[in-house]
Structure 1
Amino acid sequence: MSIDVIEKNRPRAYPPRPTECTAIFWEALEKGKFQTTKCNDCDSFTFPPKPICPHCWSSSVSWKELSGKGTLYSRTTIYAAPATFENETPIHAGIIDLEEGIRIATQLIEDEAIPIDSPVEIVAIRYTDGPLYGARKAE
């Protein structure tokens, strides 16, 4: 299952610093795939991806693709951001409960405010220097 990719013709304001583990996530996101690690022992998802399960400390984890579908749990708008993000304001941020039971924080891509409890979908945002992800109201 792939997620939609939105093109942005500029670099990211603050690029992530991939690790050996998270590089797999960022490479997949660039191709429109949203995935994370899942423990082979306790069956728990972790996000962001981790090489060791924080629930049972097992190092037996596998990569699993996520649906990218969820519900908006909470939201806020940031008007006064650090200097690195001053050209990004206002920043709409939300907490998303994914179908798989993971709660994540991400930017909201919206023309008008997405109401709490609305269905949302994760999208990949492809900048000139790499990807990020965000959520928008599900269509």
Structure 2
Amino acid sequence: MIAGKQTVDDALFVETAEGPALLGSRCTDCAAYTFPRQGGCPRCTGSSMREVPLSRTGTLWSWTVQGFRPKTPYTGTEAYEPYGVAYVELPGQLIVEARLVQTDPQQLEIGMPVELTLTPFRDDESGRPVHTFAFVGVAA
């Protein structure tokens, strides 16, 4: 559980004083960041990686709206609703692919500031929501 919420995979997250953050890794040899965490560096092939919380804020690098239900093995909610998908640049770290809370193109602009949040993805067998990570636009 992260922030009191069931997630798709608790290994993707870490609690910080500011709230949940994505848990990545950083190569101690070349300083490359990865998400999700990895045991080896894709840049220098080193194996000296350490876990680090990634920035909770970033900028919208690119985006689209997923307007149709993805093919199997998609396991989202039964009642499909379009959702935003983006690349978010985490300053000084990396660009991560994530969902967006907003789906209205009028609310989305490349370069806008965004912040990490947890959003419902599907329900578990008991009908409780299971959350995934997403980004939401914030005031500059």
Match of 2:23 among 35, 48, 56: 35
Extract unaligned runs of 5+ from structure 2: 122-127
Higher relative contact order structure (alpha carbons within 8 Å, sequence separation ≥ 6)? 1
Contact 1:75–1:95 (CA under 8 A) maintained in structure 2 = yes
How many angstroms apart in 2 are the aligned matches of 1:94 and 1:5?
23
**How far is the alpha carbon of 1:89 from its aligned partner?**
2.2
Match of 1:61 among 31, 42, 49: 49
| Pairs within 5 Å for 1:71-82 | 71-82=59-70
**How far is the alpha carbon of 1:6 from its aligned partner?**
9.3
2:85 counterpart residue number: 93
- Note the alpha carbon deviations across 1:1-28, whole angstroms, 9 max, x for none: xxx9596xxx88xx56xxxxxx6434x2
Residues 1:117 and 2:104 aligned together: no
How many angstroms apart in 1 are the aligned matches of 2:138 and 2:4?
15
2:136 counterpart residue number: 136
C-alpha root-mean-square deviation of aligned residues, in Å? Answer: 3.0
Matched position secondary structure for 2:20: coil
More helix by share: 1
- Note the alpha carbon deviations across 1:38-72, whole angstroms, 9 max, x for none: 00111111122111111111111101122211110
How many angstroms apart in 2 are the aligned matches of 1:47 and 1:69?
15
Q: Which moved more, 1:55-64 or 1:86-95?
A: 86-95
2:95 counterpart residue number: 103
Q: What is the aligned residue count?
A: 123
- Note the alpha carbon deviations across 1:83-131, whole angstroms, 9 max, x for none: 5446332121111111133011111002643211101111133664654
TM-score by length of 1: 0.71
**How far is the alpha carbon of 1:34 from its aligned partner?**
2.4
Contact 2:114–2:138 (CA under 8 A) maintained in structure 1 = yes
How many angstroms apart in 2 are the aligned matches of 1:98 and 1:42?
18
TM-score by length of 2: 0.71
Extract unaligned runs of 5+ from structure 1: 17-22
More strand by share: 2
Percent identical: 22
How many angstroms apart in 2 are the aligned matches of 1:106 and 1:47?
11
Matched position secondary structure for 1:32: strand
